[in-house]
Amino acid sequence: MVHFVGAGPGAPDLITQRGAALLQTADCIIYAGSLVNPALLGLAKADCTIYNSAEMTLEQVLAVMRKNEAAHKITVRLHTGDPCLYGAIREQMDALDADGIPYDDTPGVSSFCGAAAALNAEYTMPGVSQTVIITRMEGRTPVPEGERLASLAVHGATMVIFLSIGLVDKVQAALLQGAYTEATPAAVVYKATWPEQKTVHCTVGTLAASTRAAGITKIALIVVGDFLAAQYDRSKLYDPTFTTEYRKGAPQ
């Protein structure tokens, strides 16, 4: 059996209880060594075999899974954050399906959630933005033509940009081709929820310069949008004049 597990954004205690229990029972752990906090490996059994997938190809990862399955061992494939985002799990699952190897998927806390927590922010603010675009800048790895950053920026929605801090100048230029202005609030969160977490508040116009000034070159998210500003509407959900299934609103 193969268990895909989301490790969470970084802090060891932000893995789910289910994910931690699976790590404790695993005969083999294949973890994303470039991003997963190695402290989580402390949950492994003394005789657990551990592989760092940052040093492996897909074919090598699958070979380990097949070997363990043939030996009736439990494999945990430990991905950073939640593996549904930039986790490259579909290609692994499809290969396991073809081989008839059973697997399941345990979700984790994504780093975009960790970034919001680090900023004490809410991505969806009434009257500001009710849409969150999670994306990345096109670089050596392409994106579909209709999903280029400049195209998505026309919406002016809350945006969370993964895997792009090394292209921050291009990110800034692409954002300014859309609905964002030089004054639109932005922030960079380095290693959200890790002990060395760092946050930088800036604007779209100062995004690249602020990132360089902070010395941030990797493992960071860029967040953009007016949700970071002070102005928003009060939510209807807790408005005393708003009627819901559970209470009747007071007359205005």
Domains of the chain by start residue, with CATH: 2-106 (3.40.1010.10), 111-228 (3.30.950.10)
pLDDT tens digits, one per residue of 95-151: 999 999 999 999 999 999 999 999 999 999 999 999 999 999 998 888 998 999 999
Strands 220-224 and 158-162: antiparallel
Task: Decide: 224 and 180 in contact? Cβ < 8 Å.
Answer: yes
**What is the Cα–Cα distance from 227 to 220, expressed in whole angstroms?**
19
SS3 86: coil
Give the chain's mean pLDDT.
Answer: 96
Confidence category of residue 227, pLDDT binned at 50, 70, 90: very high
> Rounded to the nearest 5 degrees, what angle is found at the Cα of 134, between the Cα atoms of 133 and 136?
120
DSSP letters spanning 88-146: --HHHHHHHHHHT--EEEE----HHHHHHHHHT--S-BTTTBS-EEEEE--SSS---GG
Task: Decide: 41 and 29 in contact? Cβ < 8 Å.
Answer: yes
pLDDT tens digits, one per residue of 185-213: 999 999 999 999 999 999 999 999 999 99
pTM of the model: 0.93
SS3 202: strand
User: Is the confidence at residue 241, as pLDDT, over 90?
Assistant: no
Query: What percent of the chain shows pLDDT beyond 90?
Result: 89
**What is the Cα–Cα distance from 88 to 23, expressed in whole angstroms?**
20
